[in-house]
Amino acid sequence: MLLTAAFLRVAERVLAMPEMRAWLDPVPIPGEQPFPIPADLQHPVASTEMAGELARALYQFGRIFKPPQSWPARLLQELPYLLVGQAGRSGAVLDDLANDQEMGPIGSLTAAKLLQIFKKPEAWRFARRAVEHGSVEEFRKDYRTLSDGDSTFARIIYTALPALASLSDEEVGQVTANMPIPEAAVLRLSLAVLRDMKTEGVVSALRLPLEVWWGQEMQPRLAERISAFLGSGEPPDPTRVVAVANGLPVSRRLLALVRHNPGLLARVPPAVPPAASPGPADPDPALENLVTLTLALGEAANRGVNVSDEAIGRKVAEIVKEQYLGDQGAFAAMLKQDGMTEAEYLELTRLNVAYVEMSRLIERDATSPAPGAVEGANAAQPAAATGAAESAGHAAQEHRQAVAVWVRGLRDMALVYRIPEPPAGRGG
């Protein structure tokens, strides 16, 4: 109840702002185009109408958000289109945001979280960008953008600050009860500064302690913290997990198996130029392969490839039937020889299936005929045998190139971080 009352005090002040009143009770602008809501036959009408109304509200707010070219304004202006599924326009906007030199880790992480909410795979591209632009200098850029007195976001902050300053010690205790100690200390310090100063001077006074907090507490473990924020939030067990790739754990046990027998995993073309994902100075080929297939597994799930336990169980049954003539004893002997359990074999098979199926989708996309190509082929005379062979070889080369480009894209837009090996004697 205390937190609810505190929240209502903040909300009351913010909603009373002229900008918010203009949003809630907008005045039509002559000649302005209405926000278009596309028909979506994949969702119930009620759901589409609800999303449309929310999108219109966000669209109206985006009109008055200043400055219009700042990254907060552009993210807000993009929200209505994401909400109603107009992904066609998002690519160029996201590219523009990714290249914005004024957007630092806070902007990147905000974009990542919004894209994750809408189940867009580009979320991890911005998560990685947050790490790459995670310096204190880049953090300062975001702080300046968000606290600029002429911006709508800054006006919201300045309006909410007095209400935040009125939080009682008991309310602050509830807020910080489940926070990490460094973050709780920063919040208490911020509130103390806020209570002792005028609103206009608080933002300047807080800049230095927030920069110190960012440099000491956030930046050294930024990849891990961002991955937890976008993932399950549970810290990975270092005895079981060797790395995390786009929030997905990479098994330390599977890595040991693949190092012993590289043939357990599908062959992946090298990412040329080499993938720029954070990693060791001397790349581990087995780990690189395992990470790539883990990323492919995430991509396969996004593309609707069936990698459920049931589907992979059927695939393993097919392998036993085809390669071991249905002899479960021979299959069990193979597992024992390679030192793995059936559950571990199932996980390796899941990774292989995901990669192979995604490769097929990439190859299919690469060979989609251009307009007019079918008519031209039908009008042409049958090719000679040598010509057909050359054409097939060219097609195979195109397929390999398309998959290699896809693999490079997977790695270049992924957030991957290694987890140090636990000390000797600690294990599971």
Q: Please tell me the CATH code under which domain 236-370+386-418 is placed.
A: 1.10.4030.10
Rounded CA Rg of the chain? 27
> Percent of the chain at pLDDT above 70?
75
277-297, pLDDT tens digit by residue? 444 444 788 999 999 999 999
Residue pair 201/165 in contact by the 8 Å Cβ criterion: no
* Residues in CB range of 224: below 8 A, 6 or more apart: 235, 244, 417
Residues spanned by CATH 1.10.4030.10 within the chain? 236-370+386-418
b/e 42-57 (16+ beta carbons within 10 angstroms → b):
eeeeeebeebbeebbb
What tens digit of pLDDT does each residue of 72-88 get? 988 888 888 887 776 55
DSSP state of 235: P
Cβ pair 369, 362 in contact under 8 A: no
What does the DSSP 8-state code read for residue 234?
A: P
User: Phi and psi (nearest 5°) for 75?
Assistant: -65, -45
- Pick the closest to residue 297 from 341, 270, 265 (CA basis): 265
| Cβ–Cβ under 8 Å, residues 391 and 334 | no
Pull the structure tokens for residue 243. Answer: 């790395």
> What phi and psi, each to the nearest 5 degrees, are found at residue 181?
-55, -45
Q: Convert the pLDDT of each residue in 169-200 to its tens digit.
A: 888 888 788 887 878 888 888 888 777 776 55
Strand partners, 251: 241
Question: What is the rounded distance in angstroms from the CA atom of residue 260 to the CA atom of residue 245?
Answer: 22
Q: Mind listing the pLDDT tens digit of every residue in the chain (428 residues)?
A: 444 555 555 566 555 656 555 545 555 555 555 555 444 434 433 345 666 777 777 777 777 788 888 999 888 888 888 877 765 566 788 889 999 999 999 999 999 998 988 888 889 999 999 999 999 999 999 999 988 877 888 888 777 777 777 778 888 888 788 887 878 888 888 888 777 776 557 778 888 889 999 999 999 989 988 988 887 667 789 999 999 999 999 999 999 999 999 999 998 876 544 444 444 444 788 999 999 999 999 999 988 999 999 999 999 999 999 999 999 999 999 999 999 999 999 999 999 999 999 999 998 887 755 444 444 445 445 555 556 666 666 777 888 889 999 999 888 889 999 998 877 654 44
pTM of the model: 0.73
